[in-house]
Amino acid sequence: MTNFFAVDLGATSGRTILGTIVDGKLEQRELTRFANPIIETGGHFFWDIYALYNEIIKGLKIVADEKINIASIGIDTWGVDFVCIGKDGGVLRSPYCYRDPHTDNAMEEYFKLIDKETVYKKTGIQFMQFNSLFQLATLRKNNDSALEAADKILFIPDALMYMLTGEAVCEYTILSTSQMLDPRTKKIDKELIDVIGLKETQFGRYVNPSDKVGVLTEEVQKMTGLGAVPVVAVAGHDTGAAVAAVPAENEKFAYLSCGTWSLLGIETKDAIINEKSYEYNFTNEGGIEGTTRFLKNICGMWLLERCRKEWTDAPDIAQLCKDAMEVPAFQSFIFPDAPEFANPSSMVEAIKTYCEKTGQHVPQNYKEMARCIFESLAMRYRQVLEYLKDMAPFPIEKLHVIGGGSRNAYLMQMAANSIGLPVVTGPVEGTAIGNIMLQAKAAGLVGDMYEMRKIIADSIELNTYLPQDAQAWDEAYEKYLKIAN
């Protein structure tokens, strides 16, 4: 029996998990769960890196108190955000949240330095205004004091590993979200950061999934009661960890990581960077074992999460989903990736305004609005999958869905109906499972990713949804395309 400690941090909450492989199957135990709120102050949005570090320490203390021997520690988080570290080794300021409005128009400003097409050819990354490159360029333009004094710039999982070990590293999958990585060389492109006055050495030494970073510092050992436990670089980007956990038998699949964000893509041997991928704004992010995650970011359950905070009459999520099925289908659609849904003061009003502006039925209650969100997401999945089919080097035969959204049976059936392919759901906690299995690989307990995926498939329950009502969904999709922009 070998135990692994996984830290899985999302954009709204985090967990620490104990993972154990017994008789060829993976067992998990959640140790702690905690909120990860966005902190608003001084007109900006920040993450509390110290609170996250403290939550990791709490989980490690539980392990020590229960006298559990752990082989290693692994951390995965959301992408793009980073922490500035000073020459004295201290954190210079709480890191900006990617939803901060300071990057409004940041891409256009950067393209005055290096043109858009050149940036894409170098990186193959989907253009989003909060990508690390544009965040850093914005900080430089604003003469940000933390960036001015930064000796090291560490992405969130790398920063937390640094706080645990004192080792400054730059993990491949999290770096690949930044729009600074050349997927061919697997290193930071010098020209892209030269123009904003940064150096490659500021980002720490390169590491890959399953590489050892270091061991817990004496300070952390004393605080937790543990010994010199190794900290392992897993797929630091949570989507990379989640895709590692897809229980696929071969390459002929698409995946959907369904949570706050929906990330829809395929796994390929090489990056896909061409005119079509540029036109469709697809991204090439680093995967495990040298693979590329060719995907597109889609606004996901963020839409529903924000609405639920405003609804005073809505029941729990299970009943809410059931209630949404009571209202007529296809009354109204939104384009989930429209800029007005990025971070509005009121998501409910933003959706109503969008429907009114596009000449559709305006949702009148939480039931109609929830159904509008679910159907719109299902349509967006189809739209992006059509792009993928046009560019994939192999036929796509099924869609594997991982993440919390896979629990929503109504949304999963809608997705199958919309795309016209089988939808296979599970694991729900894909990021944590991928995190644990990459630690197991580092420990020599598993070989390649297909051995990992077989253990995962044998350890969880999978559900399959088959397409229904093809004609009705085809007609509704044509209606959706007319409002999608």
Q: Report the distance separating Cα 94 and Cα 256, nearest Å.
A: 31
User: Where on the phi/psi map is residue 298: left (φ > 0), alpha (ψ -120 to 50), or beta?
Assistant: beta
Integer Cα distance of 136 and 132 in angstroms: 6
Extract the tokens encoding 391. 């560019």
Phi and psi for 344 in degrees, rounded to 5?
-75, 160
- In our burial notation (b when 16+ CB lie closer than 10 A, e otherwise), range 274-309 reads eeebbebebbbbbbbeebbbbbbbbbbbbbbebbbe
Rounded-to-integer distance, Cα 399 and Cα 262, Å: 13
Closest CA to 28 of 462, 459, 461: 459
Question: Which sign, positive or negative, has the C-alpha torsion 174, 177, 182, 184?
Answer: positive
CA–CA dist 342, 130 (Å, integer): 11
Q: Which of 272, 265, 289 is nearest to 451 (CA)?
A: 289
Give dist(CA 344, CA 99) in Å, integer: 11
CA 289, distance to chain mean position in Å, is 19
Measuring CA to CA, which residue among 230, 214, 223 is closest to residue 169? 214
Catalytic residue among 23, 238, 323, 448: 238
Closest CA to 451 of 461, 438, 463: 438
Cβ proximity of 247 and 453 under 8 Å = yes
CB contact at 8 A, 186 and 208: no
Which is it for strands 423-425 and 463-465: parallel, antiparallel or unpaired?
antiparallel
Please name the amino acid found at residue 457: A
What are the Cα distances from residue 92, in Å, to 44, 89, 159, 222, 448? 16, 9, 12, 24, 39
Rounded Cα distance between 106 and 91, Å, is 25
Say if CB 76 and CB 234 are below 8 A apart: yes
Tell me if residue 238 is catalytic: yes
- Which residues are catalytic, by number? 238
